Amino acid sequence: MPEGKYSYHEPVLLEEAIASLNCRSGGIYVDGTVGGGGHAALILERSAPDGFLLGMDVDGDALQAAEKRLMPFGRRKTLVKANYADMRKVLADLKILQVDGILLDLGVSSHQLDAAERGFSLLKDAPLDMRMDSEAGRSAYDVVNTCSERELKDIIRKYGEEIMAGRIARAIAEKRKDTPIKSTTQLAAIVAGALPGGFRHKKIHPATRTFQALRIYINNELSNLHRAIFDSTDCLKPGGRFSIISFHSLEDSLVKNGFRSLEKGCICPADMPVCACGQSPRLKVITRKPISPCRDEVEANPRSRSARLRTAERI
């Protein structure tokens, strides 16, 4: 791998994801989380000589990195600062009616984790932020210091699947009475201190689930993903592929159930003798079981270990 090729973010399941899209010459593809352009570059290579790619991202840093990485492809790509949940509108604005493939690589990029100032990493001291778009919305600082104890408990339990959410929320509420909680390491220490000893000696950091919960909540990740699945499917041509890489159970479950729902079509109760909703199947699920990284990839890039790829095809 040439030095600096993936200096912004090393794409996971690279070959598997691009193969799932069935890229072809002249095809039109969307990378809704373009990041540093790793997946996008291979899509453009596999759709040469005249395939086109729309790259979207809410992170301005990511778009700068992608622009540099994809420069050799010239006018075969367009990059837009937008959330993948707004894909239908972005495509309409570009006068693109339908596409041949859509790829979403969810979660946090290597750059976002490594850049301490973004406030995603609990291991690097930095101001609490966690916004994918650093120019929009409430930051983690706002949420941690202004939400009620009950709201914090609900956020941490729902989005972090943390069984100790009540204790953590109580500790945060007590600590901020004295002074606002400002940094990532400060919050991580409060969370760790709130947990019983047995919870502080596991493989993952005791604050991992709390940080995940805050990030998902702040960036509306699950609601955006649900909207993207159900809205963007209609942007696919018949035979077009929709591939999504997720990194935790909440995302993977949403993708699995979303694809299955669109495959089933009808949403009427099972005991209804005749369909009344009129909804027909829109997708065919290609991956009944998600594709995971091979051992070599996990050893080379440990952050890929929880990645899961699911693909569906437009009917």
Structure tokens at 40: 């996008």
Q: Which fold has domain 14-111+221-314?
A: Rossmann fold (3.40.50)
Contacts of 179 (CB under 8 A, 6+ apart): none
Give the per-residue pLDDT at 121.
76
Angle between the 249-264 and 221-232 helix axes, to the nearest 10 degrees? 20
Q: Which fold has domain 134-218?
A: DNA polymerase; domain 1 (1.10.150)
- What SS3 state is found at 309? strand
Predicted model pTM: 0.91
Q: How many CA atoms lie within 13 A of 215 on its CB side?
A: 22
Q: What is the C-alpha separation between 33 and 67, in angstroms, rounded?
A: 13
DSSP 291: B
The label of the residue with tokens 């955006």 reads: 224
Assess whether the region 14-111+221-314 and the region 134-218 belong to the same CATH fold. Answer: no
The residue ranges of the chain whose pLDDT is under 70 are 1-9, 109-119, 198-202
User: Tell me: the pLDDT tens digits for 27-77?
Assistant: 999 999 999 999 999 999 999 999 999 999 999 989 999 999 999 999 999
Give the per-residue pLDDT at 14.
97
Give the per-residue pLDDT at 10.
82
- What SS3 state is found at 53? strand
Residues counted in the chain: 315
Give the per-residue pLDDT at 167.
97
Structure tokens at 67: 């622009």
- What SS3 state is found at 302? helix
Q: What is the C-alpha separation between 17 and 22, in angstroms, rounded?
A: 9
Q: How many CA atoms lie within 13 A of 129 on its CB side?
A: 19
Contact 172, 152 (CB under 8 A): yes
Strands 99-105 and 77-81: unpaired
Give the per-residue pLDDT at 312.
98
Q: What is the C-alpha separation between 142 and 56, in angstroms, rounded?
A: 27
Enumerate the domain spans of the chain: 14-111+221-314, 134-218
* DSSP conformation letters of 199-260: GGSSSS-TTHHHHHHHHHHHTTHHHHHHHHHHHHGGGEEEEEEEEEEE-SHHHHHHHHHHHH
Give the per-residue pLDDT at 135.
84
Structure tokens at 144: 């941690």
For the purposes of burial, counting CB atoms within 10 Å of the CB of 96, is it exposed (0-12), middle (13-18) or buried (19 or more)?
middle
